[in-house]
Amino acid sequence: MNGFHIVVCGSLVPDPLQTLEPVTTPQGPGLKNETMLPSVLDPWSAHALYEADHLAKQVAGSKVYLVSLGPKAKLQQLMMTVAQKVPFELVAIDGSASGFTDAHLVAAALAEAITAIPGLDKSRLLVFGGCASASRDAGVTMQLVCERLGIRDFFSGVDELKVAPDGSFSVLERVEGGQYLASTCQGAPAVLAWATGNLPEPRNNPQVGMANMRGVMPALMKAKPAAVGVGALSYAKTEIPAQKRATRVVKDVGADEIAREIVAWIKG
């Protein structure tokens, strides 16, 4: 086995510690002061990237690519931190990273960028991504990428991947009730949408960061624009979920009575 070409699809999302307020823009729904919000790598995509690095270290001859769709300026800021985590080659796409974008348009842009990677061997291709997203959580983006690439084997909610010496691999996918679906695949190509896995976040490595940045900046300079947006989608209304708090202080009430009141309040 000559190793895998592992392509990770991952983009930026607003830092979840920020207050996100939806607004209506000429291009459709968006976030207030979206361009000014600090960004992080999408958590599910981050797990996929760490798993890709772990696999590349296990299987000699493997290489990791990070395909990222977002505004070039924001991607540059993000790569200053992400580049220190694991070695990868960046493939940048200049376009909207809004959570309101159409998953079909996003998948089309990602699949086109993957196909255009020089020297990519589809017989050795594994495409990683998140099974969900902190912003554009349509839940179908990676499957749409899989279909556009013409790949038959797709796994969602993956928590574990084990590769055999002959190139075949076993996968554990999350299912209901805290159970796993165990599958065996003869080998690449395949698309895996990762859950949280079981790997810790790698420590920052300045040497890895410097090596990555030598390729990151040229990749950002030649990033192709992608016309991704809301497409044919229409939104009747976007708003922050309302918070409701009803507090009552009482004394000398038993646990059973408290439980009954809580159940009645929920049902009401």
Per-residue pLDDT reduced to its tens digit, 38-76: 788 888 999 999 999 999 999 999 999 999 998 888 888
Q: Higher confidence at residue 172 or residue 73?
A: 172
- Mean local confidence (pLDDT), 18-36: 72
CA distance 39 to 75: 9
Q: Is the pLDDT of residue 1 over 70?
A: no
Per-residue pLDDT reduced to its tens digit, 123-151: 999 999 998 887 766 778 899 999 999 99
Contacts of 162 (CB under 8 A, 6+ apart): 169, 170
- How confident is the prediction for the chain on average, in pLDDT? 87
Q: Higher confidence at residue 229 or residue 73?
A: 73
CA distance 187 to 208: 29
CA distance 197 to 206: 25
Instruction: Note the pLDDT of residue 231.
Output: 67
Per-residue pLDDT reduced to its tens digit, 246-257: 777 888 888 898
Instruction: Note the pLDDT of residue 121.
Output: 92
151-160, 225-234, 258-267: the lowest-pLDDT one: 225-234
Instruction: Note the pLDDT of residue 180.
Output: 92
Instruction: Note the pLDDT of residue 266.
Output: 86
Banded pLDDT at 153 (limits 50, 70, 90): very high
Count of CA atoms in the C-beta half-sphere (13 A) of 111: 18
Banded pLDDT at 224 (limits 50, 70, 90): confident
Domains of the chain, first to last: 5-225 (3.40.50.620)
Instruction: Note the pLDDT of residue 236.
Output: 72
Q: Is the pLDDT of residue 161 over 90?
A: yes
Tokens for 89?
């080659």
Of all residues in the chain, the percent with pLDDT exceeding 90 is: 47
- Mean local confidence (pLDDT), 220-249: 75
Instruction: Note the pLDDT of residue 65.
Output: 96
Task: Report CA dihedral (182, 187, 188, 192) to the nearest 10 degrees.
Answer: 10
Q: pTM to 2 decimals?
A: 0.82
Residue 116: name the closest of 86, 149, 77 by CA: 149
